[in-house]
């Protein structure tokens, strides 16, 4: 099979894994001793850690350059639901640093604490989506390094994403469902996929499917600020067109949408701690069949 060009998007390949292993040997990012590993993580500089993630991300993609030092590229992210994709926080580096420092301040040498930190780190990397590609692969690698102090022995561990994709979709659904509940909005449309949005995605907000709900919540919050008497939470409209909203809603949408996305990230990275055992089983290489955690 021909070697893919550096510009091609591709999945893991053994040469990419081998490059990462050589980096690990050269830099010593693998720390087998638990106490030493925890201490190293607690004292790590967040920016330096992100730079290390950028190198890992680039190596796992077979890239010759690392996007961390290019113009920031933030991808949309969705977990098996309708377009347009759910957008991660607007300030991914800052949000990740906040989470990273919180993980640092709470981690101890106990097995449960390390497991919690590793799972939160995984969801943080996936949730901020700071790289143009391979965020999930990078997150799985970081999870292995923090939990075990070593890279996975089996290359398929970081190749496999079917279990983690289902896990992320379940956590995402709970995060969005809890936000809808706080707004007094129906939760039964979270998994609906039959709505086909208008071609001009920036002007359409739909109360359907996971990926559109955050935009919908932002508009509803602005409507509530302007005139709460006009809201009907029992029978909210399925689709809102931004062009038909008042100037107050249109002008405030981008800022409010940013707040909503930040709230989603906080929920997305905190919910997994309630399902720690489930998340660990999905992230580990053993082929264990586990049902999706119920709310």
Low-confidence ranges of the chain (pLDDT < 70): 1-15, 64-85, 154-161, 191-211, 286-295
pLDDT at position 7: 37
pLDDT at position 199: 42
- Classify 86 as helix, strand or coil: strand
pLDDT at position 163: 80
Residue ranges covered by each domain of the chain: 14-163, 169-268
pLDDT at position 20: 83
- Classify 196 as helix, strand or coil: coil
* Angle at CA of residue 72, ends 69 and 73, nearest 5°: 120
Task: Report which of 239, 246, 245, 244 is spatially closest to residue 213, judged by C-alpha positions.
Answer: 239
* CA-to-CA dists, residue 91 to 42, 50, 109, 134, 262, angstroms: 23, 14, 31, 19, 9
pLDDT at position 11: 47
* CA-to-CA dists, residue 194 to 4, 78, 123, angstroms: 36, 16, 28
Task: Report which of 249, 185, 264, 189 is spatially closest to residue 219, judged by C-alpha positions.
Answer: 249
pLDDT at position 149: 94
Q: Quick one: how far is CA 143 from the chain centroid?
A: 13
189 is written with which tokens?
A: 């449309």
Which residue's structure tokens are 């996305």?
261
pLDDT at position 75: 61
Task: Answer whether 0.75 is exceeded by the pTM.
Answer: yes
Q: CB under 8 Å to 284, separation ≥6 — which residues?
A: 157
């Amino acid at each position: 099979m021909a070697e893919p060009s550096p510009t091609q998007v591709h999945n893991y390949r053994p040469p990419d894994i081998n490059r990462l292993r050589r980096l690990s040997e050269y830099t010593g990012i693998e720390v087998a001793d638990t106490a030493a590993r925890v201490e190293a993580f607690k004292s790590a500089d967040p920016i330096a850690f992100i730079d290390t993630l950028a190198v890992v991300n680039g190596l796992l993609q077979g890239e010759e350059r690392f996007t961390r030092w290019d113009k920031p590229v933030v991808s949309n992210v969705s977990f098996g639901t309708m377009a347009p994709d759910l957008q991660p926080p607007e300030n991914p580096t800052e949000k990740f640093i906040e989470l990273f420092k919180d993980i640092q301040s709470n981690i101890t040498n106990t097995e449960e604490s390390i497991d919690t930190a590793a799972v939160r780190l995984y969801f943080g990397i996936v949730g901020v989506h700071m790289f143009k590609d391979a965020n999930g692969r990078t997150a799985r690698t970081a999870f292995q390094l923090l939990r075990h102090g070593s890279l996975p022995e089996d290359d398929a561990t970081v190749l496999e994403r079917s279990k983690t994709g289902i896990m992320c979709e379940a956590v995402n659904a709970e995060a969005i469902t809890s936000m809808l509940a706080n707004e007094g909005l129906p939760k039964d449309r979270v998994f609906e996929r039959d709505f086909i949005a208008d071609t001009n995605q920036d002007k359409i907000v739909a109360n359907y499917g996971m990926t559109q709900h955050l935009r919908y919540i932002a508009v509803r919050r602005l409507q509530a600020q302007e005139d709460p008497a006009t809201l009907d939470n029992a029978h909210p409209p399925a689709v809102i067109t931004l062009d038909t909203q008042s100037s107050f809603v249109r002008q405030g949408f981008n800022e409010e949408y940013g707040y909503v996305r930040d709230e989603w990230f906080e929920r997305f990275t905190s919910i997994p701690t309630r399902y720690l055992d489930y998340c660990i089983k999905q992230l580990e290489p053993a082929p264990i069949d586990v049902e999706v955690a119920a709310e």
